[in-house]
Structure 1
Amino acid sequence: MKLFNLIIRLTCILFTLSLFTACSDDDEAAPKINTQGLVKIKEGYALGAATKVEIYTQESPFVGFNKFFIALFDSASENVSQEAEIELMPMMQMSQMSHSAPFVNPVFHQETHLYAGAVVFIMPSGEMGKWTLGLKVKNKGKTGMTSFHMEVEEPETERVYSFMNGEEKIFVSLVSPDAPETGVNDFAVAIHKRVGMMDFPAVTDYQVKITPEMPTMGHGSPNNVHPVHMENGIYQGKVNFTMTGLWRIHITLEKGEEVINDEKYFDIEF
């Protein structure tokens, strides 16, 4: 009898351990997305790719450089899809014409299990036209499409500006800082050009210089680092805010010895 009871106990222990191991394996096999600090604004399905799509942002879409964080899930298993490809297709439909906008196709980030990309909306939604954001998803050998309406608002302060450089229209958008604070902050801008209504390639061969100014106080700041091109038309540097308030970041764009534009700036207040 004692031997029988011992066998029963050992069987129960092994069964419990097998359940625990199975649960652990399931947890490892089914990673979760991390959306802390983000808000889900859209969801739907990429028909043909058997993939559910969720779109997250840090704030409502606006005229400027919008960071999009996209979660993909297998429609059958509901597991996170980690090896897909996403192509963004922003489109403004106007009464007499349509046009696209600059964008950065999403790349998967292992830390969050989200695909991070961006779109530079160059005008607001309204009477002039309506924005949609199309996604072409390639997942496990299947390709599907989906599209979402985007209500794009004009921000209180300018976050993208444009100018003509010869026959090319250049767009410069503020990328960071997202949450400015006193001290040295990451500072980045994205530069694109329009070569057609559907083609807005990155500009990668400019030199960017920044001059921070506090217009209400009449001073600038030391220890700034001019942005340099990293990838996808994004130029990364550093800006030093020595105190809170309104800061004006003057932008000078050069190509070789030629000054392309030095008349624009971004206002940042915190």
Structure 2
Amino acid sequence: MNDKSSLTPRATPDEIAGILRDRIKEGALRTGDRLPTQAALAEQFGVERGTVRHALQRLQADGLLTNVSKGSPPQVAPAPDTRGAGGSRAARSILGPRLVAAFGEPQVRVDVACLTAETLMTALGEPLRRVYEGADRPESVHLRVLLPLLDQDFDYPSPDKGWGHDEQLDAAVKERSRSQRAAQQTVLTNTVAGLRRSGIDARVDFGYTLGTPTRKAYLLNRRVALVGHYIPGRFLREIEDYEGTNPVPLCDVEGFDTPMFVFDAEGEGEQGAFVRAEQTMFDAVWDHVARSQA
């Protein structure tokens, strides 16, 4: 399908996002369907890949797509309120509303331990919008983000056949991780700078540890814990500068779709003790294990 005729000479990300959004709503693209690669979409719409990437990121922020990252073919997401087994919900649908609630308090503390900062980066959109529109006005915002050191061979993402079989692929996969990390940290740093310019006492700190995280955790205002386990699988990823733009099989995880469980310190039973234990562990790792330089 070619939609060039419906676009202005210099199509914007919003125009492209609108066309793709309509395809999803009308059923031309269904849950689980993979879109063409970013390179193919750029050719289809007659624009640069960066324009397509921004359009896809908008749809991801709306919960319509998953697996939107530099050079990866995205996938149509399930409905945002889809629940997993045992009452879990996908990270992309549960984190945003919880962050909105956290940003409604005077002092905002968000501690994150994860493989990448992509879910956090995307989920901050709605609470930030509320802050800038004046709906919420915290006095301070402090983010601590715990990430794995990049100078190591991750269990995921990694080449499907393992490290050491193809030196060129090894280098390309690691460069992909580096470029994604740099982009995400830049966005978070700029986000906090914007809060400071609006008069809020805001900061973000990054810490780094060895090993590949097996789970992701978000601790909000030291009272709520969102915890989920990464589920490795075989995924096709587009790797720049490797075999053109053909997707390559990698062992990887879908961070946006990680099933998350919520624990509230004010909840019933042992939830309070669990939240306190999670916070104590994060604080100890941050103080005694994490490195301040990547």
Question: Shorter chain as normaliser: what TM range?
Answer: under 0.3
Q: Could you say which structure has the higher helix fraction? A: 2
Which fold has the larger relative contact order, with Cα–Cα distance below 8 Å and residues 6 or more apart in sequence? 2
Structure of larger gyration radius: 1
Q: Could you say which structure has the higher strand fraction? A: 1
TM-score (normalizing by structure 1)? 0.23
